[in-house]
Each structure stands twice: as C-alpha cells, then as structure tokens.
C-alpha cells in the first residue's frame, strides 16, 4: 500500500500518505484513535470503497469480516449473513439467488430466474460453501442449525454470530483475511479460542482491534494510524507503548535540531548580508549563505510528535452506606440459579461468564430495567446509581446534539465545551448523537456519568467501542473513583484491575471468585470451576 488518501464525501481528508506493507503469513494489527480511518482502510482494501489517491496490491484471494457482521439486520437469515463473507463471485451469485428466490415466492417471477441463479450458484461452488457453513455451525452454535435459509441471525447471540463467521473464515484457505474488530461480542473463552485460531492461521491477516491482551498475544506487526498518516512498529503490541514513546521523543529531538539549524543558518545569512553591505567582496559569501538557508527551509521540517488525545475522565463519586447492593435469592428470566450476595462500598466487581448466561440481564436487574423472576435486588442508603449500556442505547440522547446533552448536566456553555474537550469530543459538539461513531457514543455516555456524579456505576461492556487511549483513561478514572463499580466485561486488561468476580456458568450456577487469576482459570475450564482454589458457589 502506497500513499493512500481518502476523504469522506463533503469532508476533509480522513488520512493521507498511508503507506505500509504486510508480508505473506504476517498477522498485522491496525491501531489508532476512534475515527482516524482504521475500518475505512479495510473497506478500501476489500474493494468496498475507492481511495482518492494512492495504490495498493493484494497477493491472493481476500475475505473480509466487518465489525457489525450479523448485527445491523436482525431479520436476515444465516444464509444472508454468510453470503456477505463469501468470496466475491459467490457473494454476488448468492445475493442474486436470494433476490430471485424471494421474487419467485412473492409471485413476481415464474421461477426461471431462480433456476438460472441456482445453477450459477452451484457452478461456482455454492453447494461446497454450504457444506462449510454446516461444519462451522456445528463447531460454533450451541443449538443445531437445520436450515440456513430460515434460521434468523437474531436467534443467535452476538458472540455466536461472530464465532460462526470467524470459524468459516479461518477454515476457508483464503490468502488474506481482513478482520474488523473480530473480538467484539466474544466472551473470554471465545477470545482465547480466537487467539489460538489467529496464531495457527497460515493466511496473511490484517485486523483492527482494541483488545490489548489479544494484540499482545497474536500481532506480529503494529500499523499505527495517527497524524493523518501512519508508521509501523515491527514487533508485538507488548513493546509498542515503549516504541511509540521513543518515537515521540525522537520526533521532538529531530524537530528541535531542525529549528536550531534553521535559526543558525538564518543568523549566519544575516551576518553575511551585513558584511556584504559594508564590503562588496563579501557579496558572494552572503549569496551562498542565503541559498543554503533557502534550500534548507524548502525541504521543510521533520514531522512533529503526534499530539496525544489527552482524554481526561474524572469520576468523583461520593460516600454511601457500607452495604451498597444486596441480592437476596435473585434470578432473572430463569437464566441462572437463584443466589444471594452483597457488594460493599468501594468494591470493583466483575460479572463474567460465557455469552448467553445472563450477565447483562443481571446488571439490568441491578439498574431496574429488568424485573427479577425470583428474589429481590436492593441498594443501601445514600446511593446514586448510574448505568452504561453495552450498545449505547440511550433514547433520551437520540436526535440531540452532544453539546445539548452535556449542557443539560452542567447548565453552562463554557463548562460544557470544556467537558467535551476533555473527552476528545469538542469537534463533535454540534453533531447529533445518532451520527457519532461507537467509540464517540461510549465516551459521551461515560462523560454524562461523570457529570451526573453517581457513587455506584453499573457498566455493561464499557470498553467495547473505546479506542485504547480512551480505555486507559477510563481505567485511570476508576482507580481514583470514590464509589462502587459493577461491570460486565470481556476485556481482560480492564478486568485485571477489579477486586473480585461473580461468574455465571452455562449450567446456570453462580460462583464468587476472589481475584483475577482465579477468575481467568475458572473461565478457561468452567466445568472444573468447583475445584478451582477459593471459588465459592453462591446459592
């Protein structure tokens, strides 16, 4: 890829001069702040978008998975979803087949078009592809898939949809895989499975991810999009933060050296001009000094260090009673067995377990948006509860500008703009909430939690759409938060800072786990959790 540039319609360039290469078999990750164009680069490489400038070449057949695969159209069938991740010719044939089939069943066609498209689908290898679908579904979906034509994607959890697509891609023998946030919606055991799949995959992989643990374990190269361009760290993410800090330092040193040299050449030219004015014999030296200075300036300075986002989250909190959250024999929608427990002031409690076990339902019962099917949930005195939703589902924000949403909470224009600036949202002040990216919505929702001043935070996957810098800013804020946090998360770096964990197993049993290491061990072998040291079954 060389000097790639792209500007959205009617907007300034999103990025320019993006140049990097990925060798066959490498597993490279694109990282950068929300909104810098990481997903756009994958869309250009897959042919979905055309670059404004630059060129690229792909060595072999390419398959791509979008970050919202199976999520944007819940009424689609599994066939609709899987056609979209098929090779180009089969994808186009599959789309035509679906249209012809629907026209025939609606009485808008005599069936000839359907017969032709079905034959074309078979000639291209469609039936072999359907066999691959069936094999992937057996490995990835908990309940048997009898018919891909009628089974709706909404009947599968988000994690099952993602795993089904990923399983298909990893077993496709594609030369190149373009994966946009493949870890989103996956629980921790499935993220470990994803790591194993990537490490054993022979294909060249270019992926976008914000999961720091995943990046540390599988990425062999880091492509950094920042400053409207890019640079490459030829190592794992584990050494990336140090490499970036060193690069920033070198850029600062190089810019200072250039500035010092420009000033020296300019001062020398001025001296020689003065001498030439006093003695014409110095005119040649003065002209030479001026030429040297002009040539130096014409080349231009080296790039400056890239400004950090400087996102500053300030979750203040306040004191409350010691017993903050009391669960008495509670269950929700019969997803797990009734259990009792207490959360005390200042605790950080993680709700963990495989997808579909009821973690978000339990958090909803705490928030009051779900009614327990059994038992009771109660909060102690002097508690103020704020919630963060996994999909940023805030009907009260829809159709409203970011500035309006924040001003409702601080009642002052200048303070509102300063608050937005602290979260990197000043440029989005007049933008409607509906049009923000997932990461921008997440930052705005966290900002509102801060401004509302709660002392109990219920967080459902708070880092899912945050870029790495924003996740780290949130973690720093929670470290200093004077209050209680209960969070559902599959982000292992985020969870590592929590005090204890409640784990819900596939069989509906609920366990209390006293620290991160024990929690990760229990997740890796859920069937043996009862034998894990210090695990306590709640009932």
- The DSSP code sequence of 233-267 is E-S-GGGHHHHHHHHHHHHHHHHHHHHHHHHHHHH
CA distance linking residue 284 with residue 452, whole number of Å: 71
The pLDDT assigned to 385 comes to: 92
Sequence-ordered alpha helix ranges (H) in 62-149: 78-83, 88-105, 112-123, 126-140
Q: Which residue in 457, 488, 493, 453 sits closest to 472, CA to CA?
A: 493
End-to-end CA distance of the chain: 57
The pLDDT assigned to 499 comes to: 93
Rounded to 5 degrees, φ, ψ at 331 are: -145, 155
CA distance linking residue 490 with residue 182, whole number of Å: 13
Each residue's pLDDT expressed in tens, for the chain with a length of 539 residues: 888 999 888 777 888 889 999 999 999 999 998 888 999 999 999 999 999 989 999 999 999 999 888 887 878 999 999 999 999 999 999 999 999 998 888 888 878 888 999 999 999 999 999 999 999 999 999 889 999 999 999 998 888 899 999 999 999 989 999 999 999 889 999 999 999 999 999 999 999 999 999 999 999 999 999 876 889 999 889 999 999 988 888 888 778 888 888 888 899 889 888 988 888 888 888 898 899 899 888 888 887 777 666 666 676 766 666 889 999 999 998 899 999 999 999 999 999 998 889 999 999 999 999 999 999 999 999 899 999 886 666 888 989 999 999 999 999 999 999 999 988 888 889 999 888 877 788 888 888 988 888 889 999 998 888 888 888 888 888 888 888 999 999 999 999 999 999 999 988 999 999 999 999 999 887 666 766 767 788 87
Query: Residue 419 in contact with residue 410, Cβ under 8 Å?
Result: yes
């Amino acid at each position: 890829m060389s000097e790639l540039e792209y500007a959205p319609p009617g907007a300034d360039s999103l990025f320019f001069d993006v140049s990097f290469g990925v060798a066959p078999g490498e597993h490279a990750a694109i990282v950068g702040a929300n909104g810098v164009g990481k997903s756009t680069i994958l869309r250009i490489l897959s042919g979905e978008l055309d670059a404004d400038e630059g060129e690229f070449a792909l060595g072999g057949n390419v398959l791509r998975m979008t970050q919202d695969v199976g999520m944007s159209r819940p009424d689609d069938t599994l066939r609709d979803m899987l056609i979209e991740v098929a090779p180009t010719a089969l994808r186009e044939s599959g789309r035509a087949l679906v249209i012809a089939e629907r026209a025939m069943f609606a009485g808008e066609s005599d069936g000839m078009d359907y017969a032709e498209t079905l034959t074309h689908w078979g000639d291209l290898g469609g039936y072999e592809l359907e066999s691959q679908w069936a094999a992937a579904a057996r490995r990835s979906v908990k309940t048997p898939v009898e018919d891909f034509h009628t089974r709706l994607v909404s009947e599968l959890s988000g994690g099952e949809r993602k795993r089904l697509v990923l399983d298909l891609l990893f077993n496709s023998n594609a030369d190149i895989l373009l994966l946009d946030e493949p870890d989103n919606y996956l629980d921790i055991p499935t993220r470990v499975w994803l790591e194993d799949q990537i490490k054993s995959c022979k294909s060249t992989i270019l992926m976008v991810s914000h999961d720091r643990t995943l990046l540390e374990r599988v990425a062999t190269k880091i492509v950094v999009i920042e400053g409207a361009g890019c640079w490459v760290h030829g190592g794992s993410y584990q050494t990336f933060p140090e490499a970036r800090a060193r690069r920033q330092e070198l850029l600062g040193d190089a810019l200072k050296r250039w500035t010092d040299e420009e000033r020296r050449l300019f001062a020398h030219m001025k001296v020689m001009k003065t001498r030439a004015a006093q003695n014409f014999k110095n005119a040649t030296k003065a002209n030479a000094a001026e030429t040297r200075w002009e040539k130096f300036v014409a080349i231009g300075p080296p790039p400056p260090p890239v400004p950090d986002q400087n996102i500053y989250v300030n979750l203040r909190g306040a004191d409350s009673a010691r017993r903050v959250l009391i669960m008495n024999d509670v269950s929700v929608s019969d997803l797990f067995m009734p259990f009792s427990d207490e959360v005390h002031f200042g605790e950080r409690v993680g709700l963990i377990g495989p997808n579909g076990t009821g973690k978000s339902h339990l958090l909803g019962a705490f928030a009051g948006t779900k009614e327990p099917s059994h038992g009771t949930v109660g909060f102690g005195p002097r508690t103020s509860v704020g919630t963060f939703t996994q999909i940023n589902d805030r009907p009260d924000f829809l159709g409203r500008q970011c500035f309006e949403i924040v001003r409702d909470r601080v009642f002052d224009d200048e303070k509102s703009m300063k608050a937005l600036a602290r979260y990197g949202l000043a440029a989005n002040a007049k933008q409607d909430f509906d049009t923000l990216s997932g990461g921008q919505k997440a930052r705005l929702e966290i900002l509102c939690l801060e401004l509302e001043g709660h002392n109990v935070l219920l967080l459902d996957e708070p880092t899912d759409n945050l870029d790495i810098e924003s996740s780290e800013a949130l973690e720093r804020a929670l470290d200093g938060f004077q209050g209680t946090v209960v969070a559902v998360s599959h982000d292992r770096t985020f969870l590592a800072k929590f005090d204890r964990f409640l784990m819900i197993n596939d069989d509906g049993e609920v366990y209390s786990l006293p620290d991160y290491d024990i929690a990760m061990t229990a997740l890796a072998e859920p069937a043996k959790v009862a034998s894990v040291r210090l695990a306590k079954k709640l009932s």
